[in-house]
Amino acid sequence: MQQPILLILAAGMGSRYGGLKQIDTLGPNGETIIDYSIYDAKQAGFGKIVFVIRKSIEDDFKEIVINKYKHLIAVDYVLQELDALPPAYTCPPERSKPWGTGHAILMAKDKINTFFAVINGDDYYGKHAFEVMADYLSSLSMDNDKDAYSMIAYALSKTLSENGTVSRGVCTPNDNNYLLNIKEYTKIQSIDNTIVHINTDGSLEHLNPDAPVSMNFWGFHPSLFLHLEKMFTEFLKENINNIKSEFYIPFAVDDLIKANKAKVKLLETKSEWFGVTYQEDRQKVVEKFEQFLNQGIYPDKLW
């Protein structure tokens, strides 16, 4: 089979961070988080990179990111724009928020024809995570495994920020480590050495620190795009005028599981996840990459 493709979601607004974190230089030699992800993906056996970006950053992104990799690995990109909707729908003029991760993935349907993984452009997932995902996707059959999806799972306690609340999709697996459901929690924080979700009424719901969570590192068969097209149209029927609504990939996957149209294998990794949700998270990430260099996990120059 073809080498799997890596789809990188890099169209986020970065509103909480206060800047374009996808191209922020965090490594000892000016590397971005995307640099590390592509290095790890190429080493693991991914054969092509596709970025999802937005039109307003296209020129900078091509200059800083695309040109860097095009001589090293097959690379392409698509645009996620607010008006990229089915013909029957028009984006409300007052909407400024992207349509969500499910919509972002859907934008790449004409660029992907084999098994593929999806990651966030501003998250670090780790070398072993890419190896596990590449090995799993490479073990599948395009004809016989159209409903075989996968997800790299991280422990909830390892994915928090010290600088504010985070949103996480908390997963419930069965005894064979297949996903039963995902529940989205939008305001998770560590308080007094316990992990809680702050409900809309202000009450606290205690969460299991070892619970597996989705950090948007997914593995899919390209048949996903047919499902997303139908589901996004249904989403728009209900939400076209809700300017803050988003079509999230965890919700779409959860619906497919409930409809017996997908089986999602939770893949375990020894890798550490970290990301930059808030500006205050930045220094800790810089120190991590310096530590990785000193430990010999990465070379002085990635490329």
Confidence tier at 17 by pLDDT (50, 70, 90):
very low
pLDDT digits (tens, 9 = 90+) for 219-233: 999 999 999 999 999
The domain limits of the chain are 5-153+214-294
Return the pLDDT at 18.
Answer: 42
Residue 45's alpha-carbon distances to 4, 130, 188, 275, 294, in angstroms, are 7, 9, 35, 23, 25
Distance CA 301, CA 31 (A): 9
Residue 8's alpha-carbon distances to 195, 206, 216, in angstroms, are 29, 32, 10
> What is the 3-class SS of 18-36, one letter each residue?
CCCHHHCCCCCCCCCHHHH
Return the pLDDT at 21.
Answer: 60
Residue 17, phi then psi, degrees to nearest 5: -80, -30
Q: What percent of the chain has pLDDT over 90?
A: 75
pLDDT digits (tens, 9 = 90+) for 249-287: 988 999 999 999 999 999 999 999 998 878 888 899 999
Distance CA 269, CA 271 (A): 5
Residue 96 clears pLDDT 80, i.e. is over it: yes
Domain at 5-153+214-294: CATH code: 3.90.550.10
Read off the pLDDT of each residue in 290-303 and give the average, rounded to a whole number. Answer: 92
Residue 137 clears pLDDT 60, i.e. is over it: yes
Residue 262's alpha-carbon distances to 58, 137, 226, 245, in angstroms, are 34, 15, 13, 24
User: Which helix (DSSP H) or strand (DSSP E) does residue 237 occupy?
Assistant: helix 224-239
Return the pLDDT at 20.
Answer: 57
pLDDT digits (tens, 9 = 90+) for 170-226: 999 999 999 999 988 989 999 988 999 999 999 999 999 999 999 999 999 999 999
